[in-house]
Structure formats: structure tokens, C-alpha cells
Amino acid sequence: MRPAPEDAATAPGYRMLAEGEGGLVVELGDAIDPVVNARVHALARAISDRLASDVLEVVPTYRSLLVVFDPLRVERGRLERRVAGLLSAAREGGAREASRTVRVPVAYGGAAGPDLDFVAAHNGLTPAEVVEIHSSTSYLVFMLGFTPGFPYLGGMSGRIAAPRLDSPRTRIPAGSVGIAGAQTGIYPVESPGGWRLIGRTPLRLFDPGAERPFLLAAGDHVRFVPVSEEEWREIEGRVRAGGYEPDADARGEGGR
């Protein structure tokens, strides 16, 4: 992504880059950081609220967001100036909307988590220690991507970081909980993938037929709760029958 000089704008705290004819990328930092991510989502909300007639889509990521527009209707320079005028929404606090903490039951190890032993050995820990560390943290949902509803979670301890597989698996079951580097996440649907699998949840993170198709949203928090195989099967049955409501708490501004 190399914009022409006239298509880029740089100022303290942000940079704008052209992404093709109908895309504008706004970078608000250069690291995976909760404060930067909060600013990204604050700016995304401001653009969606104030520039709805000018933009087709706003896609937030860890540290930047993509603004998609129709270049036949909207002049790039004008859009850049209007977006720059909204940057105060990102700079002045960057507070998140009220969020939730969702507790995600997980059966760790065994067939549900075939890489748990590797993660433990890689870090000089026992499998039980990996489970304890992984389930003792509240994780921030930085963004959704890769597959529908896949949450990229921040806040994992470096003590259980592990490299991706050398050769990705072709089929990973929906609900699998994985680790890649210092990140953790959950596969919402069956798909290929190269993350180290340490467990699996029976919750359905993506349901295209539901009124709310995604279980999680950016800004939510996740707490993993270890469960036995018997508890896992009981919850799975209730999920299939439509009689299980994920355990979630509403949280105040910032989700702290």
C-alpha cells in the first residue's frame, strides 16, 4: 500500500493512506494497544454517525481503519478533510461504548485441544498451568476478522505464547480456541487455520440466521471458563436446542 504523495496526509497522531480508488486508510498508531484501539473505534463511530452519506463502509482493525467510498460521488481530498475534522473524537479520550464481559466455557486439552501439550512444553509449563494462565485473564476483543465473528483477543500472557503451526490444518472445528504468538482467539466456523489449538467451546459465535449473528463485538471482554467434558456436552445440547444464553455482564464505559 504505497499512496501517491497527494493521496497521503500525515500529522501528529495519525496518517492517511490511499487504498485503491475508493479506499482511505487512517492509521492511529503502530502497535497493538488498547488505547490506540479505543481511538480507532471512536473514530469509526464518528465517521459512521457524521459521514454516513459519504462512506459505504468503515472497517476498524487493531490500529487503523479503512473507509470505503465511491470516488465517483465523493472527492478524496474533501473526504480526507472531513475525516481529519473528526479526529478529535479519537484523540479526546477515545472512550469505548459500554461493553460486556462474556464468559466462554472451554474444554481444554484432549481432542478439543490437541496442541495444549505443545504449548505447555514450549513454555516450560504443565498443561494445567497453561489452562490456569489462559483462563485467569480478561481479554479485550480488539476486532473481528479472518472468518465471520473471529475475535482477535488482546491481553494474553506472554508466558503461554506459542508459534503457529508450520503447516496449517485444513479443517478446524467451530469453537476451537487457539494461540498464535502472543494472541488468542476462537474459530467461529469450521475452517482452515494455523493457530495452536488448546481447547474448544460449545458456544456458537456466528449464527447467520439469528437476529444478532455475532456473539461478540469489538470492545467486549472475554473470560474463558474451564469446564469438564460432561459439562461441555450439556452446554452443547442446550446451545443446539436454543435454550442456552451465554453468561455475560454489562460493563461501564471502557469495559474495565
CB environment 194-223: b (16+ within 10 A), e (fewer): ebbbbbbbbbbbbbeeeeeebbbbbbbbbb
Tens of pLDDT along the chain (256 residues) come to 334 333 344 445 789 999 999 999 999 988 888 888 888 888 988 999 999 999 999 988 888 989 999 999 999 999 999 999 998 766 654 445 557 899 999 999 999 999 999 999 999 999 999 999 999 999 999 989 889 999 999 899 999 999 999 999 999 999 999 999 999 999 999 999 999 999 999 999 999 888 889 999 888 999 999 999 999 999 999 999 988 888 877 654 343 3
* pLDDT value of residue 70: 95
* pLDDT value of residue 251: 57
Q: How far is residue 165's CA from residue 195's CA, in Å, rounded to a whole number? A: 6
pTM: 0.78
Whether the Cβ atoms of residue 28 and residue 40 lie closer than 8 Å to each other = yes
**Domains, in order of start, for the chain:** 5-91 (3.30.1360.40), 100-250 (2.40.100.10)
* pLDDT value of residue 6: 37
Give, for 116, the enclosing helix (H) or strand (E).
helix 116-122
Q: How far is residue 197's CA from residue 186's CA, in Å, rounded to a whole number? A: 9
Burial class (CB in 10 A: 0-12, 13-18, 19+), 81: exposed
